[in-house]
Amino acid sequence: MNKLIGLAISAVIFTSCESTYYDLPPEKNYKFDMVGRCPQDDNGYYHLKLIQGNSQTLHRFGAYVTNTDKWDLPTQVFWRCENTWTFQGIPVYIVNGTSYADPAVDSVFCMMGPVYEMKGDTVTIHGEAWFEEGDIIKNDSFNIIFE
């Protein structure tokens, strides 16, 4: 009898349990394509004219990027360029270190600030886009000649 009561209680408990599961957002095909946003030659090099007499020539470059990941988090991009100039004995990198994608459009931007003394130099700018809090990473780069 006790076994029968125990079996009946177990049946009630197991039939009244509600299955809980979470729908995962669909997978995304992430994109990250950097652009110099200035004239580009047939070899793929961008050309930026530096302003003589200015301490820096400010220029905005960027990338076409998937602006949010499957969790609806904004895309974070890390920018890197080894080239620097010196201000009061301190090296200054010519690109900002990080930025986030615009939630309204599939674009992300960054500022660079080369100085006129860099005229004739060719530099490489690298980008690393992080999706899903760094679980998916896309890399790209471009070359730019300062004129």
CATH code of the domain in which 95 resides: 2.60.40.10
In order of 27, 65, 72, the CA distances from 101 in angstroms are 19, 7, 12
Widest distance between CA atoms in the chain: 98
Question: What pLDDT score does 54 carry?
Answer: 78
Report pLDDT for 13: 60
Count up the domains in the chain and report the number: 1
pLDDT of residue 89: 95
Identify whether 42 is part of a domain: yes
Name the residue type at position 121.
D
Residue 5's pLDDT is: 66
DSSP state of 71: T
The reported pLDDT for the residue numbered 68 is 92
41 in a domain, yes or no? yes
| Residue 1 placed within a domain | no
Q: Is residue 76 part of a domain?
A: yes
SS3 call for 134: helix
Q: Provide the pLDDT for residue 15.
A: 58
In a domain, 140, yes or no: yes
| Residue 39: inside a domain | yes
Q: Where are the alpha helices (DSSP H) in the chain?
A: 2-16
Give the chain's residues under pLDDT 70: 1-22, 24
Confidence (pLDDT) at 21 = 61
Q: Cite the beta strand spans of 20-83 per DSSP E.
A: 32-35, 46-48, 59-65, 76-80
Q: What is the pLDDT of residues 120-138, one digit of tens each?
A: 999 999 999 999 989 999 9
Inside any domain, residue 105: yes
Neighbours of 66 (CB within 10 A): 19
Report pLDDT for 27: 81
Could you list the residue range(s) of the whole structural domain that residue 71 is in?
A: 25-146
Question: Is 13 part of a structural domain of the chain?
Answer: no
